[in-house]
């Protein structure tokens, strides 16, 4: 991934509990810790909103979330707008959202930083008073196209994954369309189709996913990915698998929830087409302690190919990172406050305690009360 696709600084003001986050630096690996309700999930939700906005789906996303009143910090009377600035190295993207009477948002301002060595660099207005983003439209503008393409590719490259639903009716366990295989979906509903494409087009990556899954699931041998053709002509596929020393195909429901989540995480982090930034909310859910250690190694390795943003409640997972990777999220007077611990301040503590222990003892902050 090019450095241009990685977020360097992020400003968010007036979005849910994030009332005033000003030019907060993000590194290649960012691990958010904090108590329930501190604002970690709201940080993840911001990425979802901007991703939807870039594809002209802001109004639909806003209504799904209950309208602008539910999104603005402390409501419309307290907060008149959402403001944001995303800095991608030499590029930048800025917008202001203002609520409408029907519960939606207007883009009161949308700007793009354009670097032009010959004609001077500066902010260019994409639009104002519009209901949907003009970023995608600016790809056709001869003056803006290079900067617009860079920002658009980075933002649409943000991938928010949420693998919490592993119930019997979860999409990841059901038959799905074989042709839906270009990208792994946010809930891994097309996992079987995506793994099938990897096996056919990227066998080395497929084998790495398989071997990593076997580390956490010792009895697992391989996936059984056999498409079926319906009378309509559509081809479907399901995530079947087999155990070691057996040719019998087993159903996805015969894997534990933690095993399925680990396979989803492994696939997302090893995929051959890495996104600009990957965001995962509480990836440790249902994982065995050893699988959490493997997950930590996967996240560290993946951060060399893509930017990682992870929120977690697991002290075991926190132990897998360095203190420089942590972002401590706390709530003060209903507002989310984001801080990076000072490495020098905690150097003597880390000689005697693991990082997760410091969090558990509330030395780092980010604990209830």
- pLDDT tens figures, 233-256: 999 999 999 999 999 999 999 999
Considering the four listed CATH numbers 2.30.30.30, 3.30.70.60, 3.40.50.300, 3.90.550.10, the one that applies to the domain covering 3-157+275-360 is 3.40.50.300
pLDDT at 116 over 70: no
Q: Residue 369's pLDDT band (boundaries 50, 70, 90)?
A: low
Pair of tokens at residue 130: 């519009």
pLDDT given at position 118: 63
What proportion of the chain, given as a percentage, has pLDDT over 70?
97
The ranges assigned to domains in the chain are 3-157+275-360, 171-258
- pLDDT tens figures, 197-222: 999 999 999 999 999 999 999 999 99
Buried b (16+ CB within 10 A) or exposed e, 233-248: eeebbbbbbbeeeeee
| 141/309: higher pLDDT | 309
Mean pLDDT of all residues in 160-185: 94
Q: Residue 366's pLDDT band (boundaries 50, 70, 90)?
A: confident
Mean pLDDT of all residues in 244-270: 95
Mean pLDDT of all residues in 144-157: 86
Alpha-carbon distances, residue 283 vs 129, 165, 186, 259, 325 (angstroms): 38, 12, 13, 12, 16
DSSP 315-363: HHHHTTS-GGGEEEEEEETTEEEEEPPPTTTTHHHHTTS-HHHHHHTTS
Pair of tokens at residue 12: 């968010």
- Reference 341, options 358, 323, 320, 353; nearest CA is 323
Q: Residue 3's pLDDT band (boundaries 50, 70, 90)?
A: very low
């Amino acid at each position: 991934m090019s450095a241009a696709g990685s977020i360097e600084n992020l400003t968010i003001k007036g979005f849910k509990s994030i009332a005033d986050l000003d030019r907060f630096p993000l590194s290649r690996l960012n691990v958010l810790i904090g108590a329930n309700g501190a604002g970690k999930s709201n940080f993840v939700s911001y990425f979802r909103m901007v991703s939807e906005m870039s594809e002209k789906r802001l109004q639909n996303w806003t209504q799904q979330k209950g309208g602008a009143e539910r999104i603005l910090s402390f409501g419309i009377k307290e907060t008149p707008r959402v403001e944001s600035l995303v800095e991608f190295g030499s590029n930048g993207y800025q917008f202001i959202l203002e609520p409408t009477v029907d519960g939606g948002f207007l883009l009161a301002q949308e700007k793009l930083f354009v670097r032009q060595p010959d004609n001077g660099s500066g902010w260019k207005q994409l639009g104002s008073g519009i209901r949907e983003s003009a970023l995608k439209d600016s790809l056709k503008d001869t003056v803006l196209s290079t900067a617009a393409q860079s920002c658009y590719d980075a933002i649409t490259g943000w991938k928010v994954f949420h693998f919490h639903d592993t119930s019997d009716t979860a999409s990841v366990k059901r038959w799905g369309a074989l042709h839906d295989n270009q990208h792994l979906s946010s809930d891994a509903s097309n996992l079987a189709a995506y793994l099938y494409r990897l096996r056919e087009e990227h066998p080395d990556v497929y084998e790495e996913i398989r071997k990593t899954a076997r580390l956490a699931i010792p009895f697992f041998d391989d996936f059984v990915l056999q498409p079926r053709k319906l009378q309509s002509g559509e081809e479907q596929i399901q995530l079947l698998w087999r155990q070691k020393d057996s040719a019998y195909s087993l159903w996805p429901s015969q894997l534990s929830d933690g095993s399925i989540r680990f396979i989803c995480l492994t696939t997302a982090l090893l995929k051959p087409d890495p996104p600009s930034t990957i965001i995962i909310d509480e990836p440790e859910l249902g994982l065995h302690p050893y699988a959490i250690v493997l997950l930590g190694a996967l996240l560290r390795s993946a951060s060399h190919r893509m930017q990682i943003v992870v929120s977690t409640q697991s002290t075991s997972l926190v132990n897998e990172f360095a203190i420089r990777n942590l972002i401590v999220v706390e709530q003060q007077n209903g507002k989310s406050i984001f801080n990076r611990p000072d490495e020098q301040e905690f150097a003597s503590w880390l000689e005697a305690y693991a990082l997760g222990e410091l969090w558990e003892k509330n030395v780092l902050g980010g604990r209830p009360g």
